[in-house]
Structure 1
Amino acid sequence: MNKIGMIVAGALLALMLAASTLFVVNQKDFAVVYALGEIKEVITTPGLKFKLPPPFQNVVFLDRRVQSLDSPETRPMFTAEKKSLVIDWLVKWRITDPKQFIRNNGVDVRNAENRLSPIVQAALNEEVTKRDVRAVLSTERDKVMQGVMRRLADDAKSFGIEVVDVRIKRVDFSVNITDAVYRRMESERKRVANELRSTGNAEGEKIRADADKQREVIIAEAYRDAQKIKGEGDAKASALYADAFGRDPQFAEFYRSLEAYRASFRNKSDVMVVDPGSDFFKAMRGAGNPGSAKK
């Protein structure tokens, strides 16, 4: 039993020793092999690797993928015309020289980011102070980012890293400037709105006046045409009446008398005091007295 226990213990010891001498390098990492506290080797190819057991050799892994560094809470920057801007930025970087990176920053990526952040802020501030607000916001925004990348190139090499890209995410005025800009924009929009309303009212009055003029012209022309047609109708009617009455003068006289009676006694309440022997009642007398009618 003691012999079997010794064999098992020896096997476990051998496994532990083998495990301490073997390690796997992932595709996304650098493997840095330390020998008694000094960097002995940097392994960049993935696969199964060998080393001496601790404490003779140790392995530290560094992420070789692209890292993102966002701007911290930044202070305002001033443009060439002394306008205060707050700029949010983003830097993409990766480790290219693990030995240099460890010498300057250790193995913690946050140490590199804490050192890189103020350098980016200073480089961006230098680029912004050479330009006005319009250039920073639109016309030369790409040039600002390219200028920051050029300024970071030398510092990045000393850190053992490469700056892949620099991006400006947001550009805004500081709070006091923003309020003033908003008030100025509001005032400008109100002025434009008032001008548009005034122009619209003037155009409306012009359109209404033109419509009224056209209406009056149309009414006048219609009245003229109506009067012309009415006159022509009256002339034809008069001609027809004259022709008809000329053929039978007695009937014409009788018809006119009836029209006169109709006009005089239009309502039941109408009262007329006239001598019955007057010519006005001649037609009535003739209608009531056949002898008179024959005369």
Structure 2
Amino acid sequence: MNKIIALVVAIVIVLFAASSMVFVVDQRHMGVLSSRGDTAPTLLGPGLHVKLPPPLQTLTLVDNRIQSLDAPDEDRYATADKADLLANPVIKYRVTDPLKLLEQTRGDTQSLPDRLALLSRSALGDAFGKVSLADLLAKQQAVADEARGAMDKAAASLGVQVVDIQLTRVDFPASMTDSVFKRMIAARAQAAADERAKGAAEADQIKADAVGQQQAILADGYRQAQTIKGEGDAKAAEISAEAYAADPQFYQFYESMQAYKKTFKPGDVIVVDSNSDFFRFMRSPTGGVAPDAPAATRKH
């Protein structure tokens, strides 16, 4: 009977020892096998592995999946124009180098979320400090992306890759909400006034340009009209000169008739001196000038 009990105890001890020596690393984790002394730890991939029982060798499993860190409380940040904001970031990260992680945390992987939270506050503080409150709504994703890049560089020393940062809440502290809203309203009103003033200035400039173009067109048209008129007057004078040279007496008669037409209107009463030279063609068709005598006929 005692032999059976001893055999059972021996089997249990062997099974217990075997269970502590044989282990499986699944696809979701990476294993780090550490030995006593100064021996460097060994990184193990997925599969079945064997190790010495503790405390000769210890196994640490590190999750290599993308994990989320959601800060339960919001943090306060300041913008470039010194406006205070409350923000809640959600950080997506994954462990890429378990050996470096264990080295930097001295085997305490549970402290990783706290370290990442500190890094995120520093990175977001720098990113928020580069934008003004007015631009924050349009650049909120850009702020998160910049913080992710800075945090990823800092977290590389921990063997961690920061995949993404999302800001789930960006709000004002309750104590300054009213003053911030009033300042934003005043800023938007000033921007609207500036745009209206700019539009009015552009409209005045357009009107001034149009008036200038109108005056230039009118001046050019007047110049062309005067040129054409001058050419017409010159042509008329040339024609008159030719007509006068061809028959001076008829030309004087025609000019007098035109003068009578312009001077006398129906119903006008005019007192004049009938002996005036102005009326010479009324007294005589030749204007008081004897017609040219016909050429004398020669008799042979």
TM-score normalised over the length of structure 1: 0.56
Aligned to 2:41: 40
How far did residue 168 of structure 1 move?
Answer: 1.1
- Superposition misfits of 4+ residues, deviation over 6 angstroms: 183-187
How far did residue 72 of structure 1 move?
Answer: 5.2
How far did residue 50 of structure 1 move?
Answer: 0.9
Aligned to 1:161: 160
Aligned to 1:144: 143
CA distance change for structure 1 residues 8 and 141 in 2, over 3 Å: closer, same or farther? same
How far did residue 108 of structure 1 move?
Answer: 3.9
Aligned to 1:95: 95
Aligned to 1:134: 134
Aligned to 1:170: 169
Q: State the alpha-carbon separation in 2 of the partners of residues 2 and 112 from structure 1.
A: 52
CA distance change for structure 1 residues 119 and 55 in 2, over 3 Å: closer, same or farther? closer
* Alignment check: 8 A CA contact 1:20 1:53 kept: yes
The residue identity in structure 2 corresponding to 1:44 is G
Which stretch of the first structure deviates more once superposed, 126-135 or 158-167? 126-135
Aligned to 1:53: 53
Percentage of identical aligned residues: 33
Q: State the alpha-carbon separation in 2 of the partners of residues 127 and 184 from structure 1.
A: 22
Question: Structure 2 regions of 5+ residues with no counterpart?
Answer: 187-300
CA distance change for structure 1 residues 84 and 14 in 2, over 3 Å: closer, same or farther? closer
How far did residue 42 of structure 1 move?
Answer: 1.5
Q: State the alpha-carbon separation in 2 of the partners of residues 183 and 111 from structure 1.
A: 43
Question: Structure 1 regions of 5+ residues with no counterpart?
Answer: 188-295
Count of matched residue pairs? 185
* Alignment check: 8 A CA contact 2:34 2:58 kept: yes
How far did residue 29 of structure 1 move?
Answer: 1.6
The residue identity in structure 2 corresponding to 1:97 is D
How far did residue 166 of structure 1 move?
Answer: 0.8
* Alignment check: 8 A CA contact 1:127 1:144 kept: yes
Post-superposition Cα deviations, 1:200-259, rounded to whole Å, max 9, x if no partner, equal xxxxxxxxxxxxxxxxxxxxxxxxxxxxxxxxxxxxxxxxxxxxxxxxxxxxxxxxxxxx
* Alignment check: 8 A CA contact 1:39 1:99 kept: no
Post-superposition Cα deviations, 1:149-187, rounded to whole Å, max 9, x if no partner, equal 221122111011110111111111122221334568999
* Alignment check: 8 A CA contact 1:32 1:39 kept: no
* Alignment check: 8 A CA contact 1:62 1:107 kept: no
Q: State the alpha-carbon separation in 2 of the partners of residues 85 and 154 from structure 1.
A: 25
Q: In the TM superposition, what are the counterparts of 1:267-278 in structure 2 within 5 Å? A: none
How far did residue 5 of structure 1 move?
Answer: 3.9
Aligned to 1:125: 125
* Alignment check: 8 A CA contact 1:35 1:56 kept: yes
Aligned to 1:27: 27
Post-superposition Cα deviations, 1:61-111, rounded to whole Å, max 9, x if no partner, equal 122222222235344322222222111111111111111101112444441
The residue identity in structure 2 corresponding to 1:7 is L
Q: In the TM superposition, what are the counterparts of 1:60-75 in structure 2 within 5 Å? A: 60-71=60-71, 73-75=73-75
